[in-house]
Structure 1
């Protein structure tokens, strides 16, 4: 009798069950006692099965009993044909004795028995409540089994800071978690512990509330704004919601403020009511969470009365007016102080906006200020200066007198004038001009006056309908200077000065000119001249030139201009060393010093040119990056500061450029692919010439649009030299060349892709191979000629899911699919190929840009009698070894179950493979299926819950790279 207890749950015993990937544990009867190897514990199951071999007995008894006492035992009598029995309804965490006895007639066999324990159950119905920013309260339902302790583990979901574990004494079923991080997500697990056995944990997650900002304070305040500052929340809040309103609860406002970097955040509340107390609440916001608000009250400053002004004054009084403050106030306080006396104050009702101060000192200047008050709160003051009695304007002051303008200023009149009238005109003319000015103006500018003319000026202050006596003065404008001064006909040693005559009468002109570092020369010329030629100047020199008119001892202002004499030009610019893209320009420098040369390069038919600056010490310049076969014009001149020379120029045409990067590829026994990069310039065609070592030569004309050509009909094992040049009209470019050698046939009837590769077939694709070189056993295969040296026979490919791989045994024997898409080559073909010699295996896997491979240095499968048993060698690669687990296993399909598992692995995992119990890799599984073990899996790379999008299985003769390398070298020799 055998009692293989396989799975044990909380309330059930199971005997003789096989878990995926597990082995059967067997017990044995020796005499009258039962022995067994081990009893694995699997918490997911809740029953056990008794399996036993029946001999002649007609029935048997099955009896599980608690080991500590025999109370509560269960006896079941079973037919002799039954070999499995499930017992449910057991208690968690209890040890049971199981006995099986065979009965025949009145005879009873010795019992076969064993002991086994059900798992302890864990806490259930875990609940987290009363969550704040730093505290959470956890509750759970205690386990039914007797346990030694309750383990409570919690930590941040991202793993930062590790996990905290509390060992709690049963029957405790609640706990308060303290000192949590605000706004953080936590993982929580509660399990039971008895001895070394721990139950399955009850799991949950929770997120703490975010904490409110702290230490709210007002940084600065104005009548209409409050600047707030607070310490940022510990939680990583995105922003803060600021809600504020007056204490009366009117007009709630809300603003969202981004969190500042650093420990604090600032916000300014604007457009507030002056002198008003506001209630302010600030909450932290993180995604969809919002903290409780932190609150404070703050009051704005009182606003000042505005536009304080003097409206009237007498010998003993001053009348004032102002604009009322906007905020709520109690009253205004007006302070007035004489220039040499004590200050006095008067309180004015908040409803008033004007006041007359009486009983003042006559003829005295007062400083008057006004503030708004509310309780102890005061606004900023508004001030004005005022004068008792009448203070007329007594004098006009003239300044900045020119030939056409003058500035006038005057003192303040008292009382303030309503308006001012300024009158001016030439003394000898009755006509005069008037300007009406605002009463607050204290200056004016007169422009457009005539040169050398005396003007009378008067100013009258107007008070209502009364005008004051005029205050008068006179000025005489100066002589005007010559106008429109300009320079022309500049040469290396002379220039001509032009101007227009002044308006005022004069005797003559005086012209002066001075080099930047030299003496000043001057000359007088007649009053009827309007131009003058200055000679004997230095070339490329800066000159300051001035012209003024003179009458007796009086002189006008100077009209001046600064200019340079010309510099000489470079000589003989030429273009040499012309190539398709470069030209060397050379020239002779001018006599004067040159700061830089300016080259303007213009392409034929293109209007805009490229400007190039060249250092003045150079006499040549290399032009690069030119367009081939193109005509250019180069114009150049020399500069020194603001000076420029005359321009010289030359023309040149670049050469036709050749094609580049001539390459021979895909060279076979009879053909080669030639490719090249076309030239930049326009061409008509190419001339291609190729010559073999035996002296034969051919020339081809290739269209200008082509960038490759395949040469066919070449001789085997022959070296060819190829030359290529471009042609345009009758002009040919230089040529480029390359050489290649055609291959020879090494194997007449290749038996695999490696032999095709050594025959010179270098392109990946579909080829025909002959098993053992026998033409009667020809098989079409797909050859990978590029991966890791090439020569691979691809015998499986998965890439798009268009081919169904959940097939029967017959399909997998002969193969299915499209060799250029998804396919399986067939077990019979794979066996025949690997029977030709030692082969190696490579498996390539890709997931987007991520790739991995597995390599095994031996690979073969048996014939149909061995059920195509898998044999592989040592592993190497980047994917991890998931295939060795399947070593020595026969192939299984959904209709041929050859695995060792209880279930049909092919049917369970929707594939066909060398399954064991069941798999570590399932490359013929369902495409795109991410459920556990159902898809295209390679456990050590992507696990059992990811279906790999691209897989290729391929084989080639062992050590092919070394053999093919030696073979190629021998062919080259």
Structure 2
């Protein structure tokens, strides 16, 4: 017989752990420094199961925080009394144990120990795990891992499960419990303290009056041990007779064969198998992600069916599969396999077109069966990575305009097909926005010794003005002037007979365009007009002349004897 013992609790705070279970049961130190329960029934001999039927006992202990360390000692004592009631040995009753909170783990398998003393030592040294309570996941884990030939489980042996819980499970226990019962495991449920009695009844086999227990505290668990072990012992013997009776009948039992997967998509695939022998009531197909730690799910079909489509799966995910044939009072070994779903259909044919300095359009081929599209676009340069923008559109949109882009910048545009909250692989493309339009056709006119007129064609209707920068060809200082949206400007106060380089930029809200460049050379200062001498004497004469150009601020006059001698000069303002 396979006996399954199961302990489940709810989470508790650190404050709960400090005092929970303290002094709830009289304890005394034994010679080794440990504690043992004082038997409240003086002189009562413990019950011993004397049936010749053997059992495989798998104990699943919930080590979650709400039990508390002191109460966990009482759980160990309860387990010692339970183990002591049976004849334990490699050829007799076998006992394995797993512990769980948020995740289950095997403490030892059915074939790990060959004597009762070894099992009792393991129970006494059972560590307290701690954590949350996910009972449904743990029940499935035991079904999948403990009741297997490689774990020491024997064919033709009755199956029994015993649940001990002090609260309500944090996940659904009904389907996993049903799976255990479908596999021929008879379940008992024991509630302690604040256990949910409706949940106990939903887990336990019928009838409730012999399979459901409820006690007020861990300290009085010992009061039910004798009645529990008697009932378990009786059911071991009864099931042993039933199994032996079935084995002499005509019904043949076995596992399904030839697992095949087909019709694989991103969200589903079909599982098929060859029928198991005998009268199969139904088939259970258990499936779960191989590497993501997901909860096992199952699909159940009638025994006349030999395939089922598993739906609502994750894309590009490997799933482990187990198919069980369920008979009237037992379930077969699993037919196992695996399959990997496909990637979600993705966008293709992405094209970026109608590019301007601050916009571009994106279009792509539509994808069937999606909920919409997500479009991400960002400058390709690393220092602008934080400028990524996101747009979500319906499944009917396959062409849209991207706006507020930076001129002369390469962008990466990525489109995802969305399936609810899940996204396909991306389709990406790159395109560079156009630079801002510069002015055109620079012309220099009306150039004289200290000024020049610049003329150009307008850059764009969106230009807000122009920036003119000019510098002497051999100079270091650059002069700059900002003007409005005009198409000509005169530069003044230039140096005569000098070459100048000029650059004109269009100014936009988005920034500055590339430069329109050119150069010119100012004229020399023109000579004075109509030079005349008058009022000549032996020692002096007057010189007069006409102004040759506006803007002259100084004249320099030099003179010397015609037949040789010293040259003299004088400088004077233009008003003289």
Report the TM-score, using the length of structure 2 for normalisation.
0.32
Higher strand share: 1
Question: Higher helix share goes to which structure?
Answer: 2
Which is bigger in relative contact order (C-alpha 8 A, separation at least 6)? 2
TM-score, structure 1 normalization: 0.21
